């Protein structure tokens, strides 16, 4: 089977846009991706739309109402925080299968502020703060503490993830924040759920991102100059684990997807030049160093201590600023990290450019759970 290529991709600067509609936000990224690919909506044969907040609201069709109702098939996807990546993957599948030559994936989200999650269900009284916590900061704090239990990972090591990603975002004009947060600032910020302080939680923002995907034939016809090759596209769900019911497992589904992705791409973790992974909380990034393979089990603390995942390090992680500082518009996140890696492979990432980047990996987790991984390659 021939390869699938990204011909165009874009994201809007993440922020808070309560006065704009979801389709309006989606349309801006879609226009950007079409322009980047030098094609028009009339060239697009099918579209996948990722959105969570209005999952029943036909966001894809409403996006086409903004950019051109050409009558093409539209699929609306929801897969928790893996929503955007799932839309991208299904677009990829359709091209890979030879059904279409040119398609588009768009991810968009408009978020409120505040805590996500919460323990609930069952009988008629609230369970939050009674049967522990179901808030996302606490759930990912507990996942981080499992790592501390096994390997002695410290609060300071988790906090360093946030220092790094906030630093990276100062180099990314499309990130929500461009603010340096030194270690003391991160550690002394309001404690939300130990060991996650406020600066170690991802930012709820509004945002959108889009990508135009093409078959090899179409990509060659339109020009491969700035094309990015999709070397692997993998989706997994969470296999059964004994603590599942009380402790969502983001590790096993990531390991499962990573193994398949490396096999599909015919490369190993050491070949990867940069990673955009799901740092919904600082604790999560530490876990995924080991799940995705930049280091072996138990070495994640050392990796962050030695700066190996910072820009200029051995394998830069979340040079966009990550969900922690670029922001996390749920349905857009999975395509935004594909935009980021593509931008590096094209050598267009300006001040945050990972020099000589040839292969990059993107990863998202939708709690519940879904994991999507893409491996992207520079085209020579």
User: Interface with other proteins includes 190 (CB under 8 A)?
Assistant: yes
Q: Which stretch binds other proteins (CB under 8 A): 92-100, 172-180, 245-253, 302-310?
A: 245-253
Torsion angle defined by CA atoms of residues 153, 157, 158 and 160, in that order, rounded to the nearest 10 degrees: -170
Q: What is the 3-state secondary structure (H, E, C) of 131-152?
A: CCCCEHHHHHHHHHHHHHHHHC
Q: How far is the CB of 189 from other proteins (least distance, A)?
A: 11
Which residue, 1 or 245, is less far from other proteins as judged by CB? 245
Contacts of 300 (CB under 8 A, 6+ apart): 147, 151, 153, 157, 286, 287, 289, 290
3-state secondary structure of 205: coil
CB 7 within 8 A of CB 202: no
| Residue 255 neighbours by CB distance under 10 Å | 18
Q: Taking CB under 8 A as the rule, does residue 192 contact other proteins? A: yes
To other proteins, the closest distance from the beta carbon of 157 in angstroms equals 14
- 133 touches other proteins by CB under 8 A: yes
The interface region with other proteins, picked from 17-25, 64-72, 184-192, 330-338 by CB under 8 A, is 184-192
Q: Verify binding: residue 324, other proteins, rule CB under 8 A.
A: no
Q: How far is CA 296 from CA 163, 255, 367, in A?
A: 23, 12, 24
Decide if 161 contacts 181 (C-beta within 8 A): no
Asked if 145 interacts with other proteins (CB under 8 A), we say yes
Establish if 130 lies at the interface with other proteins (CB under 8 A): yes
Which of 120, 266 has the CB closer to other proteins?
120
Contact between 114 and 204 under an 8 Å Cβ cutoff? The reply is yes
**131 touches other proteins by CB under 8 A:** yes
- CB nearer other proteins, residue 14 or residue 158: 158
Does 240 bind other proteins (CB under 8 A)? Our answer is: yes
How many of the other CB atoms lie within 10 Å of CB of 139? 25
291 contacts other proteins (rule: CB under 8 A): no
Name which of residues 350 to 379 contact other proteins (CB under 8 A).
none
Interacting span for other proteins (CB under 8 A) from 29-37, 44-52, 239-247, 340-348: 239-247
Identify the bridge partners of residue 197 per DSSP, sorted by sequence position.
191
Residue written as token pair 């996500």? 116
Pick from 155, 177, 262, 339 the residue near other proteins by CB under 8 A: 155
One of 18, 71, 113, 125 touching other proteins (CB under 8 A): 125
Contact 379, 229 (CB under 8 A): yes
126: Cα separation from own chain's centroid: 32
Q: Is 156 in the site for other proteins (CB under 8 A)?
A: no
Locus of tokens 């497992």: 249
Residues annotated catalytic, as ranges: 81, 328
Copy the structure tokens of residue 90: 């299904």
Contact residues toward other proteins (CB under 8 A) are 115, 118, 122-133, 135, 137-138, 141-143, 145-146, 148-149, 155, 190-196, 240, 242-243, 245-247
């Amino acid at each position: 089977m021939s390869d699938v290529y990204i011909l165009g991709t874009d994201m809007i600067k993440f922020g808070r846009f309560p006065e704009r509609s979801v389709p309006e936000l989606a349309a801006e990224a879609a226009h950007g991706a079409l322009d980047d690919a030098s094609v028009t909506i009339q060239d697009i044969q099918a579209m996948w739309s990722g959105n969570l907040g209005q999952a029943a609201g036909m966001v894809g069709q409403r996006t086409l109402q903004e950019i051109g109702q050409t009558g093409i098939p539209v699929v609306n996807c929801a897969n928790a925080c893996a929503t955007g990546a799932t839309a991208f993957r299904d677009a990829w599948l359709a091209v890979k299968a030879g059904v279409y030559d040119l398609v588009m994936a768009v991810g968009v989200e408009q978020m409120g502020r505040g805590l996500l999650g919460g323990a609930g269900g069952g009988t008629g009284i609230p369970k939050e703060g009674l049967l522990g916590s179901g808030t996302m900061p606490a759930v990912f704090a507990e996942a981080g503490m499992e790592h501390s239990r096994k390997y002695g990972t410290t609060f300071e090591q988790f906090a360093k993830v946030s220092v790094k990603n906030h630093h990276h975002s100062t180099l990314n004009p499309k990130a929500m924040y461009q603010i340096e947060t030194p270690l003391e600032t991160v550690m002394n910020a309001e404690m939300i759920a130990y060991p996650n302080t406020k600066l170690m939680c991802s930012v709820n923002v509004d945002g959108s991102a889009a990508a135009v995907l093409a078959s090899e034939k179409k990509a060659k016809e339109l020009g491969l100059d700035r094309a990015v090759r999709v070397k692997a596209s993998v989706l997994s769900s969470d296999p059964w684990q004994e603590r599942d019911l009380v402790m969502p497992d983001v590790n096993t589904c990531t390991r499962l997807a990573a193994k398949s992705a490396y096999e599909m791409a015919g490369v190993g973790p050491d070949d990867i030049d940069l990673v955009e992974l799901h740092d919904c909380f600082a604790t999560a990034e530490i876990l995924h160093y080991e799940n995705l393979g930049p280091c072996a089990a138990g070495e994640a603390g050392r990796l962050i201590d030695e700066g190996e995942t910072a820009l200029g390090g051995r394998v830069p992680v979340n040079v966009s600023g990550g969900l922690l500082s670029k922001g996390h518009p749920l349905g857009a996140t999975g395509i935004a990290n594909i935009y980021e890696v593509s931008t590096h492979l094209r050598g267009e990432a300006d001040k945050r450019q990972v020099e000589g980047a040839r292969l990059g990996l993107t990863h998202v987790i939708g709690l519940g759970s879904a994991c999507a991984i893409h491996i992207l390659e520079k085209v020579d």
